[in-house]
Structure 1
Amino acid sequence: MSVSTIIALISAATALGAATLAAYTARGNSTRASFDLALALYSDLTSKETARSRSILESYRRGNAPTEQAHSDVMDHYFALLWQFEKIYAGREALQRQKLLNGSAPAVQYLDDMIDWHVAEWAARWLDIHTLLQAQLPPDDTLDDRHTLQTFCKLADHFRSAAGPVRDLRQAIPGTAAPTP
């Protein structure tokens, strides 16, 4: 074997090693970024602001009906929490769709483990709260939450613990049905 062939083989092996190391490092950075996103989504769900919305909605659901002025506040918290779950769904989908590319599957599993209880609990509450809010609107008005509730249902579809309440929610509220494949 000639010296130039040996040098070419060593160069090719070095390039392959560098490419492998770069790919490994990039995948590690992507995995870290995936966990950062999962943790940020969970942190937002358990933040002080979101806790306030959960508390107000749970109090409302248990019968502490608001005055007319407070009705708009409850509505604000209702949508704030729904949008929080919508944000989680968007983040989860982003992670899920890139799992083959950058190894985000463990971050999706981590996020799912952390939010499972929250999703199941709120799946069991949305219909009650929706019904109470709708009852306080004028007869010719409709609570326009079906799109955000549909997104919540899509998120909840990933959690066996939320299956029953999500089925009931979809049956009761038009526009929230599961998409057909």
Structure 2
Amino acid sequence: MGDSLRVAATVGSCIAAFLALATTFFVWRRSRTTARLQIVRDLHAELITASAAQDRHTLGCLHWQNRAVNPDEAERSKVMHAYFAMLWRFEQLHAGRNVLLKEVGGKRDVALKMLDEQVYTHVAEYVCTFQVIRKKLTESNRDDPVFDGAYRETFKQLCLSLADSFNDQERKTRLVAHGNNTEKCICVCHGMEAKPPLPTQRCQGAPVPGTA
């Protein structure tokens, strides 16, 4: 009888320890998933802030209207600022996404799947936008080169990594368009008639150059 009680107590202790371990693992896994999903929300949120919306508007007006950049210092500086600000946002996205990937050995868990779905449209749009805006900035002042090599390379890495995450061939194609200047970009901007830059804006009463 005594031996039976001791065996029962031992089995009961093992079961209790196993349940405690299972509960701890469940709580840890749930906490980690919650933390990863918060990172996803933060990374996505950076692309839709008020400042990001303003930068995207600045670049979007030039891109979708196929309008040249005014070489006037004020507009060119504004466009240059927006251009680099968006490159840096995608650099931050790429870094954050890499952290999420490494934590799960490169597999796409629920957090990565959510992130990729949320940012796909943003990234795909800028595959063409960055190419077009960079060309317009260069044409507006060839004496002031656009030094963005490292940031453009990071964006390219983001596109390639994101493309590997999708099975949809159309999505893959959009993400690698412009990659080596041989893929055909399907962006509708290429069908827009080129427009001249907007005239330089002057304060009311300011003299027009050459008339003062």
TM-score by length of 1: 0.82
Aligned twin of 1:109: 113
Shift of residue 58, structure 1, vs aligned partner: 1.8
Counterpart Cα distance in 2 of 1:79 and 1:7: 67
Q: Work out which of the residue numbers 150, 153, 156 in structure 2 matches 1:153.
A: 156
Counterpart Cα distance in 2 of 1:44 and 1:24: 31
Counterpart Cα distance in 2 of 1:128 and 1:118: 16
Structure 1 unpaired stretches of 5+: 170-181
Counterpart Cα distance in 2 of 1:142 and 1:7: 78
Counterpart Cα distance in 2 of 1:167 and 1:106: 32
- The 8 Å contact of residues 69 and 137 in structure 2, kept in 1 or not, is answered as no
Q: Work out which of the residue numbers 79, 95, 101 in structure 2 matches 1:74.
A: 79
Aligned twin of 1:92: 97
Aligned twin of 1:126: 130
Shift of residue 23, structure 1, vs aligned partner: 0.8
Aligned twin of 1:144: 147
Q: Work out which of the residue numbers 140, 152, 176 in structure 2 matches 1:163.
A: 176
Structure 2 unpaired stretches of 5+: 164-171, 183-212
- The 8 Å contact of residues 68 and 140 in structure 2, kept in 1 or not, is answered as no
- The 8 Å contact of residues 98 and 104 in structure 1, kept in 2 or not, is answered as no
| Cα 1:2–1:100 shift into 2, 3 Å | farther
The answer to which structure has the higher helix fraction is 1
Say which structure, 1 or 2, has more relative contact order (CA 8 Å, 6+ apart): 2
Q: Work out which of the residue numbers 12, 25, 28 in structure 2 matches 1:26.
A: 28
Counterpart Cα distance in 2 of 1:29 and 1:18: 16
| Cα 1:163–1:138 shift into 2, 3 Å | closer
Give SS of 1:165's match.
coil
Larger radius of gyration: 2
Q: RMSD value over aligned CA atoms?
A: 2.4
The one-character-per-residue Cα deviations of 1:67-88 (angstroms, maximum 9, x if unpaired) are: 2122222111111101111111
How many residues were matched structurally? Answer: 168
Identity over aligned pairs, percent:
25
